[in-house]
Amino acid sequence: MASTKKILAEQVMFKLEGGWPDIAAAVQEEDLYKRIEQKVNAKAKLQHFNQTLASGETIPDGLFIATYDGIAVSAYQDRSKSTLPVKPISLPRNMGIFRVYDPRYPDNDFIPLQRGQMALLRSDTLLNDLIGDIGYEPRNEDVVFTQDLTLIGTSEVSMELVVMDISLFSVTQALPIPADMEDEIINELVAEYAPVQAETGAINKFTTIKNNLAQ
C-alpha cells in the first residue's frame, strides 16, 4: 500500500524519538508534512502539466508530470511488460501514462495504445506490427509492450506519469511515490531533523540573545 504523508511523518518521528514520539518532541508531525512535499517534488522531477485535450475536455488543475527512471522490463509470454511505479491519474486515452521510452533513445517514444487496440490491429496487413514501432497497452498495474524488449537489449524504461500536485494530497491520501523513494525520504528527514533538540529547562531567551550579540 502506498504511504501517506502521515505515515511517512510518523516513521520519521519514531526514528527521531527512538520509540513512541513524545507529545513534547522537538519535531512534530506537522513540521514534517511540508518538508515531505518538498522532498517528493524534488525527487520526482515534477513538471506542471496543463493541457486541453483535442476533444475539448480539460484536465483538472494541479496536475504534474512525474518522471520515473529505471523501471525494470521483464519478459511476459512472447512480449514484455513493466510495472507502473505509481498509479497515475485516470485521464482520457490513458494520457495519465504520458510517455514511456527507452532512456537510451529518449526521442523515440513507445506508441500508446488503448486497452484491446492491439487485438484490433492484428488483423490489419499494414499495421499489425505498427510499421516497426513498439507500442504499449496499459493492463491494470502493468504496461504490456507489443514486443519482447529484453531481446533487443532494453532492460529498463523511463516513464512520465501524470500525478496530482503533492500539496493537494491530504495527509491521509496515498502519495504517488515508489517504495524506494519513501525509504530515501524517511532516512533523509531523520538525518535532517536529528540535530533539532528540545528546549532545555533554563528559560532565558534574552540571555541567549545577548550572548549571541556580544559575540
Compute the half-sphere exposure of residue 134: CA atoms within 13 Å on the CB side of its CA: 22
Distance, CA of 78 to CA of 110 (rounded, Å): 18
In order, the DSSP letters of 52-69 are B-TTS-BPPSSEEEEEEE
Nearer to other proteins by Cβ, of 117 and 208: the residue is 117
Residue 96 CB coordination number (10 Å): 19
Let me know how long the chain is.
215
As measured in angstroms, the least distance from the Cβ of 67 to other proteins is: 16
Element (H, E) at 18: none
Helical axes 5-17 vs 29-43, angle rounded to 10°: 120
As measured in angstroms, the least distance from the Cβ of 134 to other proteins is: 12
Write the Ramachandran bin of 47: left for phi over 0, alpha for psi from -120 to 50, otherwise beta.
beta
As measured in angstroms, the least distance from the Cβ of 115 to other proteins is: 13
Which residues of this protein are in contact with other proteins, per CB under 8 A? 51, 54-56, 93-95, 98-99, 109, 111-113, 117, 121, 124-127, 130-133, 135
Nearer to other proteins by Cβ, of 90 and 125: the residue is 125
As measured in angstroms, the least distance from the Cβ of 105 to other proteins is: 14
As measured in angstroms, the least distance from the Cβ of 66 to other proteins is: 16
